[in-house]
Amino acid sequence: MSQPLTLHPDRLFPADEASRSVARALYAGVKDLPIVSPHGHTDPRWYAENEPFPDPSTLFIVPDHYVFRMLYSQGVALEDLGVPRRDGGRTEQDSREIWRIFAANQHLFRGTPSAMWLAHAFHEVFGIRERLDADNADRIYDQIDAQLKLPEFRPRALFEKFNIEVIATTESPLDELKWHRKIRESGWKGRVLTAFRPDPVVDPDFPGFAENLVELGRITGEDTTGWSGYLAALQRRRDYFREVGGATSTDHGHPTAVTADLSAKVASDLFDKVRAGSFTAHEAELFRGQMLTEMARMSVEDGLVMQIHPGSYRNHNSAVLAKFGRDKGADIPTATNYVHALKPLLDRFGNETKLSIILFTLDETSYSRELAPLAGHYPALKIGPAWWFYDAPEGMRRYRELVTETAGFYNTVGFNDDTRAFLSIPARHDVARRVDCAYLGQLVAEHRLDLDEAHAVAHDLAYGLAKKAYKL
């Protein structure tokens, strides 16, 4: 017999009554605030075409690396979960069979943030009141599948139901942004922006880098065989993203936070080497570092907020990369240096009040040692929220404890969900609001913060800081 699915109203609040009662009061003031989602990876096509989501597995499992990486770690083949192969080889096409595998393995998610996000979506969006398991898999599949066919479960209707004020997607610099253009031309009031992700044309190790440079030149009309034309082409694409996609930010997923500030001649010579494909690993890193500084220079001029997401050893599993391609759950955190790595960029632009750089990390040891002291001094720097593997209650608590003592609350930027899973967005924001209110409740209970101050901070963490930091 299946067990009931419930969401406890005090989940994630402190166990002691004094802190918990304050957390409840703080949460009551922010739980219904609009969602500002300034950085993520949902598909703009969803909002442009507003077609029904195909089926429960395509919605919850196939595109979500949080889900299928856990199943893969326990020996479930990605083919059996419907993850497409690069060679077009056999993968499971029966959505119901994929769902049954998922249902039979729910125990694997116990204690994880994925379990919280899924429970929230099942309970709050689809009205499910029993835990998913092998016995009720077909029944719950049918319930969700039937609802997905209704108008109120189409992407735009859910966008409005979730009370999303604004959401940003992330696109390649070579993207024509046709879906963003279609959204704007449709007359729909939902606000969907893009973010400029230049990695395919600034990272020499990115697959197809040389071909991407040729395409960059074609779509901009600039000569990308030379350094000055290359930089001009990048600026043109930034302008295009601002004009067509409403972009307010850029995003940089480099392996490290290394920056450089080379002379024009040295940078030009280095560009010639990477364009020709005759570069060392050190030269690739140096070029990426130079491009972070060039992007900062452009941001001073055009106002785009700069996000740096370093420290992930991407596609660590070579066999999965070869068979299924990029972004299949095999990205692993690495130790990351910021103090020395960022100094060339900060020497040039760190004191610029017109520049806003949001730093993220997958190396929690850097919070109190490096990121908080840096952001607590340089006007150009802010600290992004607990990211990716640490977008979880424990990770969020550690983040607040390690960052606040040096950088305070106002050198951080609120929360962003950074997700591809559309239905997890309200769940993720709810978790962040609860964790922040729990932290603030403890500060009030310890007489380190007055209640009126805590209410103001809770509002800013849930809503105001993200709008301000991302110029929304």
Question: Which 3-state string (H, E, C) describes 173-215?
Answer: CCCCCHHHHHHHHHCCCCCEECCECCHHHHCCCCCCHHHHHHH
pLDDT at 2: 85
CA angle 257, 308, 203 (to 5 degrees): 70
pLDDT at 69: 96
Cβ atoms of 289 and 296 within 8 Å: the answer is no
Among all chains, which residue has been given the structure tokens 């209110």?
437
pLDDT at 81: 97
| Rounded CA separation 33/463 (Å) | 7
For the beta sheet containing 357-359, the strands, ordered from the edge strand earlier in sequence to the opposite edge, are: 249-252, 305-308, 357-359, 381-383
Which residues, listed in sequence order, are joined to residue 138 by a DSSP beta bridge? none
Number of other CB atoms surrounding residue 467 within 10 Å: 17
111-148 pLDDT, tens digit per residue, is: 999 999 999 999 999 999 999 999 999 999 999 999 99
Return the closest-CA partner of residue 67 out of 331, 313, 416, 329: 329
Strands 249-252 and 192-193: unpaired
| Rounded CA separation 317/87 (Å) | 17
Name the band, by pLDDT with cuts 50, 70 and 90, for residue 1: confident
Strand boundaries in 197-299, DSSP class E: 249-252
| Rounded CA separation 322/87 (Å) | 9
Name the band, by pLDDT with cuts 50, 70 and 90, for residue 87: very high
- Give me the percent of the chain exceeding a pLDDT of 70: 100
Strands 305-308 and 357-359: parallel
Cβ atoms of 223 and 217 within 8 Å: the answer is yes
Write the CB contacts of 218 (distance below 8 Å, at least 6 apart in sequence).
none
22-51 pLDDT, tens digit per residue, is: 999 999 999 999 999 999 999 999 999 999
Which residues, listed in sequence order, are joined to residue 250 by a DSSP beta bridge? 196, 306
| Rounded CA separation 378/183 (Å) | 38
DSSP assignment of 408-462: -STTB-------S-GGGHHHHHHHHHHHHHHHHHHHHHTTSS-HHHHHHHHHIII
The arithmetic mean of pLDDT across residues 417-433, rounded, is: 96
Please name each of the domains of the chain with its CATH number: 17-51+162-469 (3.20.20.140), 52-153 (1.10.2020.10)
The arithmetic mean of pLDDT across residues 406-435, rounded, is: 97
pLDDT at 241: 98
**For 235-239, 326-330, 458-462, which range has the lowest pLDDT when averaged over its residues?**
326-330
274-287 pLDDT, tens digit per residue, is: 999 999 999 999 99
The arithmetic mean of pLDDT across residues 147-171, rounded, is: 98
247-272 pLDDT, tens digit per residue, is: 999 999 999 999 999 999 999 999 99
Write the CB contacts of 102 (distance below 8 Å, at least 6 apart in sequence).
57, 60, 61, 67, 71, 81, 132, 137
The arithmetic mean of pLDDT across residues 151-160, rounded, is: 98
